[in-house]
Chain A
Amino acid sequence: MIYRVLVIEDEEPLQVAIQEKLENEDFEVTVVDNALDALDAVKNEVFNVIWLDHYLRGRHDGLFFVNSVKKLGLFPTPMLLVSNTADTQKVQEYKDAGVAEAYIKNETSIDEVVQKLTLLKNNEKNTHS
């Protein structure tokens, strides 16, 4: 089965690293670098999980995206915040809006996040089979 991941990340090298790592792990990856494109993507396609950064290209940040998704009623797609912000207040706002997990990039190896996604994927598989 295809497991679709929407990666919302503005930093190009990271986009590449994430995409390569996830595709190696058999995820189907869509990458966008701003909140509006991300909103278009979730409106048009169905994703199993969303990988989200805080600071994005353009005027809107990840929080805007999360709140907009909530308004559109598109939950319960699980979302993981993978950002460089250590601001606990911000993190709390994301969690309040429905984000499941928050990772700080430079404190976390990419493997840790991928392992989490794999876990989610396997769980889904198990529930479907």
Chain B
Amino acid sequence: MSLQTRLFLQFILIGLLPLVIVFLLILFTTQQQFIDRSLASIEGIADIQEEHLNSILDDYITSSRLVGSRTQMRIELDNYLNTSSTQSLEKVDIILTQAIASGTSIESISLYDIQNSLIYSSDSAVAEMVDEDILRSARDQHRLGKVFKDEQNLIKIDTYGPIYNEQGEIIATSRIVSSASPLLKITDDYTGLGETGEILLVQKNASADAVVINPLRFDTGASLQRAIFSSQIEKPTIVAISGTETILKDGKSFDYRGEPVYAVTRYIDSADWGLVVKVDVLEVDSYSDQITTIFSLAFLLTLLAVFAVSFLIAGRISKPITGMINQTEKIANGAFSDEVSNESEIKELAALSDSINRMSRELGGLYEGLDRKVKDRTRSIELEKAKVESILSYVGDGLILLDAKGNVSFINNSATKILGITDHLIQEDFRKVLNFSKIDSDETLLSEDIDRIYLSKSKKRKVVQRKSYLSLSGRKKVACVFTVSDYFVKNKREGVIIIFRDITEELRIDKVKSEFVSLASHQLRTPLSVIRWFSELLISGDSGELNQKQKLYVENIYKSNLRMLDLVNSLLNVARIEANNFIVNPEYVLVREVIDAVISGFKTELDKRGIAIEIQGSDESKIFIDRDIMRVIIENLLSNAIKYSYEKGKIDIIIEEDKKNIYINIRDYGLGIPAKQQSRIFEKLFRADNASEHDTDGNGLGLYIIKGIIEQIDGEIKFSSKEGDGTTFIVRLSKDGIKKKEGSKKII
């Protein structure tokens, strides 16, 4: 539902409900008031007319009094009654004729004696129509008689009154007939009574409960003709004649026509008449209906006005908002140029429109700047990306990028060259498509290492370097050396980089080398063995005794042959160490045991040269090491110490240990190493000058070999020396750090 519709409906709802209530209230009160007013106006008319009637009736009675009080007339009449003097009667006639002439409405005067016999009448036609009951009742006072019709059907009213003689005795009763027109003037006056209003005068009647005196608006012949009975539904007249003055406003009273009427009843005491002023309910209601119609029209107009105003206001409120919505929509779509109208009459909306326009302009500016920056940035990123991609694509090493989940996201050309077709790998889980298998059986499977990297919660970069076979399904295994590392962006692991290089050729060369060493060891040693054994045969006299000289020569051959064997063995050791291809088969070894064994090997020489060896330190020191390696190290160092000691010299061997390491110190007090040459003593084939002079046996390989071995098993060798004072070598070996290692050759 749109804002305008919603506002419109809300306004309507808010406006309509009170409007309806107010209208209904006003309508009902107005209708009621109108009826009340109508009734009040009828009542007013009734009161005024009642007063009029009373005053007219008073006039009639006054006229009767005036006639009866004429002294001359009374004297003459008294005289006539006593004397029957016609003269007196004539005088009475003259006086009464004068009275008729002077009175406004008196039409005739009749006089009756106390026996009710007619004495005199100015109109003999009327004289007979006398009511003797009234005549009798009028002896005490003047009173109204009856309304009646004469021969010409004119409505008359008569008044009766006593006539006294000079002595105050009643002598006669007068009957004055007057025109009823003053009365009828009142009842004919419908002013203020609308179209249906009427005034009814009723008097009592012997044959009926009441009879209508005046001609009626809707029944002009009703005068003295229409009789009304209390049994009839015509209530108001009956109420009036019964002397009740009231307002009949329930709408359930009916008039002579049977119409429902509102009526006001009055009782005219002096004449014993009833007065009814009435108006048709229909007429009053028709006015009230008109009011209802007018109100309804007004209501409809107001409603229309409310609709229109609601519509306009809703429009005024919603239009700028709709405008702003459109504008923000445009802003959202990146169009900042248009402006929304800020001409709303609602201050806040205008201010809001202004704000939106300002925001739009500023956003527009920002957007333009941003757009330019983004474009620049995008271009430099694209350049950078192109650079990186071309580097990655053509770099010699194979490269596979895995995303944060382990799916392959990039493979470079070198990887494709190494592995074969790799197109199908993109977006695949590396666990499914990259098959790793071990080269070194000791190592863990590379795929498991990569999985460990993914499982690690550490934010530190992890690097695994490993030789491993890699194959894609259906393709042959390729031996590679891998560097696998995860990479982070803002502390979040974004993936893993696998860099690898095909080492098939290297492995092949290693194998060839190893085979060469193996072959060389055999081929070189075989002739040496032949020389050795034949020398032995000769020396031992197996083929006859040799003379002294011959024996000396053969012994020299034999010794040189042993040196040659030693040299060959050293060279083979060098080859193995350089290829890192020697067996390590560690076990717990008592350091002292190895040292003792080596010393006993040198026993002949030590005895010959009178060199003493002193050993200090624990007999219990143990180390987890390959026994042969340990032997080679001690043998080399002790051999040097003996070689470079003076005759009858001394050698100290000190074994020390701490928690992790064993330290073997071998100290001689011999030649020492010239300071200048100390830095070179671990070089291959290097011999210090004084050493070469002293002894021609050395081959310059011993220290090179043991340093190589010691470093490859995570140990350390140091020395201190002073020419002439001797040399101390210190070997540090980890007690338990040495690992088993497969290789093809043993160190000899």
Contacts and interface: CB of A to CB of B under 8 A. Distances in A.
Interface stretch (B3-11, B603-611, B740-748): B740-748
Nearest to B743: A89
Top 3 A-B pairs, shortest CB-CB distance? A105-B529, A84-B525, A110-B533
Contacts of A21: 533, 537, 542
Contact of B529 (A87, A89, A106, A111): A106
Given A20-B537, A20-B542, A110-B537, A84 B521 contact: yes
A127 interface: no
Interface string B506-530: 0000000000001001100110111
A26 interface: no
A88 B518 CA distance: 12
B583 A84 contact: no
Mostly helix, strand, loop or mixed at chain A's interface? helix
B491 interface: no
A85 B522 contact: yes
B744 A87 contact: yes
A107 to B, nearest CB: 8
Contacts of A109: 532-533, 536
Contacts of A11: 526, 529-530
A17 B529 CA distance: 11
Interface of A: 11, 13-14, 17-18, 20-21, 24, 54-55, 84-89, 105-106, 109-111
Contacts of A111: 536, 540
B220 interface: no
Given A86-B748, A87-B744, A106-B525, A14 B542 contact: no
B594 interface: no
Contacts of B529: 11, 14, 84, 105-106
B224 interface: no
B540 A84 contact: no
Given A84-B522, A84-B526, A17 B537 contact: yes
Nearest to A24: B542
Contacts of A89: 583, 744
Contact of B533 (A17, A55, A86): A17
B575 interface: no
A85 B699 CA distance: 23
B534 interface: yes
B696 interface: no
Contacts of B543: 20
Contacts of B528: 106
A86 to B, nearest CB: 5
Contacts of A55: 522
A110 B529 CA distance: 9
Contacts of B518: 85, 87
Interface of B: 518, 521-522, 525-526, 528-530, 532-534, 536-537, 540, 542-543, 565, 572, 583, 585, 744-746, 748
A55 B529 CA distance: 14
Nearest to B568: A106
Given A87-B746, A106-B529, A106-B565, 13 more contacts: A14-B530, A14-B533, A17-B533, A20-B543, A54-B522, A84-B522, A84-B525, A88-B746, A105-B529, A106-B525, A106-B528, A110-B533, A111-B536
A106 B746 CA distance: 15
A106 B565 CA distance: 7
Nearest to A82: B529
Given A17-B530, A85-B521, A110 B746 contact: no
Nearest to B522: A84
B521 A86 contact: yes
A87 B515 CA distance: 12
A24 B540 CA distance: 12
A47 B712 CA distance: 47
- Where chain B touches its partner, the secondary structure class is helix
A49 to B, nearest CB: 19
Contacts of B572: 86
B464 to A, nearest CB: 29
Q: Which of B521, B522, B583, B746 has the most CB of A within 10 A?
A: B522
A109 B530 CA distance: 11
A84 B536 CA distance: 17
Contacts of A87: 518, 744-746
A84 to B, nearest CB: 4
21 contacts: A14-B526, A17-B533, A20-B543, A21-B542, A24-B542, A54-B522, A84-B521, A84-B522, A84-B525, A85-B518, A85-B522, A86-B748, A87-B744, A88-B746, A89-B583, A89-B744, A105-B529, A106-B532, A109-B536, A110-B533, A111-B540
Given A11-B526, A84-B521, A87-B744, A17 B534 contact: yes
Contacts of B530: 11, 13-14, 17
A55 B518 CA distance: 11
A24 B534 CA distance: 14
Contacts of A86: 521, 572, 745-746, 748
Looking at B528, B542, B585, which has the most chain A CB atoms within 10 Å of its CB? B542
Contacts of B526: 11, 14, 84, 105
A18 B534 CA distance: 9
Nearest to B558: A109
Contacts of B522: 54-55, 84-85
A109 B533 CA distance: 6
Contacts of A24: 542
Contacts of B745: 86-87
A80 to B, nearest CB: 15
Nearest to B572: A86
Contacts of B532: 105-106, 109-110
A11 B529 CA distance: 10
B94 to A, nearest CB: 192
A71 B532 CA distance: 36
B536 A110 contact: yes
Nearest to A11: B526
Instruction: Determine which residue in A21, A86, A111 has the highest number of CB atoms from chain B within 10 A of its CB, and name it.
Output: A86
Contacts of B746: 86-88
Contacts of A14: 526, 529-530, 533
A27 B62 CA distance: 204
Contact of B583 (A13, A20, A88): A88
B555 to A, nearest CB: 13
Contacts of A54: 522
A89 B280 CA distance: 142
Indicate the member of B521, B525, B540, B746 with the most A CB atoms within 10 Å: B525
A85 B518 CA distance: 8
B534 A13 contact: yes
A12 B746 CA distance: 28
A89 B543 CA distance: 37
Nearest to B519: A55
B106 to A, nearest CB: 177
Contacts of B525: 84, 105-106
A35 B565 CA distance: 28
B690 to A, nearest CB: 31
Contacts of A17: 530, 533-534, 537
Nearest to B543: A20
B564 to A, nearest CB: 9
B628 to A, nearest CB: 9
Contacts of A105: 525-526, 529, 532-533
Nearest to A14: B530
A18 B530 CA distance: 10
Nearest to B540: A111
A2 B525 CA distance: 33
A18 B537 CA distance: 10
Contacts of A18: 533
Nearest to B745: A87
A24 B542 CA distance: 8
A26 B147 CA distance: 201
